[in-house]
């Protein structure tokens, strides 16, 4: 593990949801960088207490709103299910907290606009948890693309695959904003958009197709999208991205 200088004053963090991703996304990084995970709240209080005991979290709140009202907290990590991201991201901003939201930070475009409106009228910041963007490899990729040392961007293709979750996993729930696109496909789309921002502009959707999970109407098991970058970008101007395996 890389050594980090201790911060001048540790950031005081609260967590919404006791999801499995919290340990890797916040608990371990906070421990490594000298910050404090002060509080947690979860739908199941027993799960929250067990999670807090396991990871040395200082206190457990009885509700999400009680956690947001905690005056000691400066930043919130939202690890709730996708369908709850918008509601509690907005609530956290209104409570005067900075927000790191698990991706995607809302379930649809209308919700995204609502969160943006609250964020732009606030002095707090909200960040979507696409960690790849801050990886040294991505920073190097940006340098290469922007410098033109290998020529212009000609083609983008991203293929993401992972084993399908169990049948009872919330990622197969339409009501919870599940599906392949919302789970990991959003990362591929985000990467395609970033490449556009570093070159001629963001891409537009040309076509898209996907397949439903058997027995789960309107929940995508896989999806492929063709994108086109703005005129002026040489060569094939499309990105094809995302497919989830079915087992």
Domains of the chain: 12-129 (3.40.50.720), 144-241 (3.30.360.10)
pLDDT at site 13: 98
Q: 176 in the Ramachandran plot: left (φ > 0), alpha (ψ -120 to 50) or beta?
A: alpha
Q: Cis omega before residue 104 (within 30°)? A: yes
Mean pLDDT of 97-112: 96
Parallel/antiparallel/unpaired status of strands 156-158 and 75-78: unpaired
CA–CA distance from 113 to each of 8, 20, 77, 216 (Å)?
A: 35, 28, 20, 28
pLDDT at site 208: 87
Decide if pLDDT at 50 tops 90.
yes
pLDDT at site 88: 98
Give the C-alpha separation, 203 to 194, whole Å.
9
Side-chain half-sphere of 111: how many Cα atoms within 13 Å?
Answer: 16
Question: Worst-scoring range by mean pLDDT, 17-26, 133-142, 233-242?
Answer: 233-242
Q: Is the separation of the CB atoms in 232 and 153 below 8 Å?
A: no
Q: How far apart are the first and last CA of the chain?
A: 33
From the list 12, 47, 87, 103, the catalytic residue is: 103
Task: Please give the residue that has the higher pLDDT: either 7 or 188.
Answer: 188
Mean pLDDT of the chain: 89
Sign of CA dihedral 225, 231, 237, 241: negative
Question: Is residue 103 annotated as part of the catalytic site, yes or no?
Answer: yes
pLDDT-derived band at 231 (thresholds 50, 70, 90) equals: low
């Amino acid at each position: 593990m890389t050594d980090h200088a201790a911060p001048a004053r540790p950031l005081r963090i609260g967590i919404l949801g006791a999801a499995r991703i919290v340990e890797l996304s916040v608990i371990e990084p906070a421990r490594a960088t000298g910050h404090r995970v002060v509080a947690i709240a979860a739908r199941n209080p027993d799960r929250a207490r067990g999670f807090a005991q396991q990871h040395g979290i200082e206190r457990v709140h009885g509700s999400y709103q009680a956690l947001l009202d905690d005056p000691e907290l400066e930043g919130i990590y939202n690890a709730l299910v996708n369908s709850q991201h918008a509601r509690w991201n907005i609530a956290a901003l209104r409570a005067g907290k900075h927000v790191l939201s698990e991706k995607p930070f809302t379930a649809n475009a209308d919700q995204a606009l609502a969160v943006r409106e609250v964020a732009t009228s606030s002095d707090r910041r909200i960040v979507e948890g696409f960690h790849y963007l801050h990886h040294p490899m991505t920073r190097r990729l940006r340098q290469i693309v922007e410098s033109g040392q290998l020529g212009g961007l000609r083609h983008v293709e991203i293929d993401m695959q992972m084993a399908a979750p169990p049948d009872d996993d919330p990622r197969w729930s339409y009501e919870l904003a599940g599906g392949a696109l919302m789970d990991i496909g959003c990362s591929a789309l985000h990467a395609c958009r970033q490449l556009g921002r570093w070159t001629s502009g963001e891409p537009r959707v040309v076509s898209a197709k996907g397949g439903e999970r058997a027995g789960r109407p309107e929940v995508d098991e896989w999806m492929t999208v063709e994108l086109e970058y703005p005129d002026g970008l040489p060569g094939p101007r499309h990105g094809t991205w995302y497919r989830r395996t079915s087992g």
